[in-house]
C-alpha cells in the first residue's frame, strides 16, 4: 500500500466505526422501546420513550463528530504528504550545467541519420 492511500484508510476506518456506533444505538433504542411497551406505568413508558429518542439523537451527533474528525485528519494527512513531496522536490539540487549533447549516430556512408 502506498503512503498516499493512508487518507483513504483513515476514512474507511471512520466509516466502520460510524456503522458500529449507529448499529449499537439502534439496538439500544429498540431495547428502550421494548421496555416502554412492557411497562404498565405511563410515567415509566414516557421515560423509556424519551431515553430511546435521546439515544438516537446523541448517537447521530456523535457519528457526525466522528465523521468530521476523520475527514479533517485524512485531509490534514493528505496535505502534509503533498507538502513534504513538494519540499523534497524543491530541495533536490538542480543541475546548473546543461547536459552535453551526444553526437547523432552516423550512417554507413558518413552522413548523419
Q: Where in the chain are the domains? A: 3-91
* Residue 1, pLDDT score: 45
pTM over 0.85: no
What are the pLDDT digits (tens) for 68-89?
999 999 999 989 988 988 888 8
Cα separation, 46 vs 50, whole angstroms:
6
Report the percent of the chain where pLDDT is more than 90. 64
Determine the Cα angle at 54 with ends 31 and 34, to 5°: 20
Cα separation, 82 vs 35, whole angstroms:
53
> Mean pLDDT across the stretch 51-63?
96
Give 75's strand partners. none
> Mean pLDDT across the stretch 5-13?
89
Amino acid at each position: 500500500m502506498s503512503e498516499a492511500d493512508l487518507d483513504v484508510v483513515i476514512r474507511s476506518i471512520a466509516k466502520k466505526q460510524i456503522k458500529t456506533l449507529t448499529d449499537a444505538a439502534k439496538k439500544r433504542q429498540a431495547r428502550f422501546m421494548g421496555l416502554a411497551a412492557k411497562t404498565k406505568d405511563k410515567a415509566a413508558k414516557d421515560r423509556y420513550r424519551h431515553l430511546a429518542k435521546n439515544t438516537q439523537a446523541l448517537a447521530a451527533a456523535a457519528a457526525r463528530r466522528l465523521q468530521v474528525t476523520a475527514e479533517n485528519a485524512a485531509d490534514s494527512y493528505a496535505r502534509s504528504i503533498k507538502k513534504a513531496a513538494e519540499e523534497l522536490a524543491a530541495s533536490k539540487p538542480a543541475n546548473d550545467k546543461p547536459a552535453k549533447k551526444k553526437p547523432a549516430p552516423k550512417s554507413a556512408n558518413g552522413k548523419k541519420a
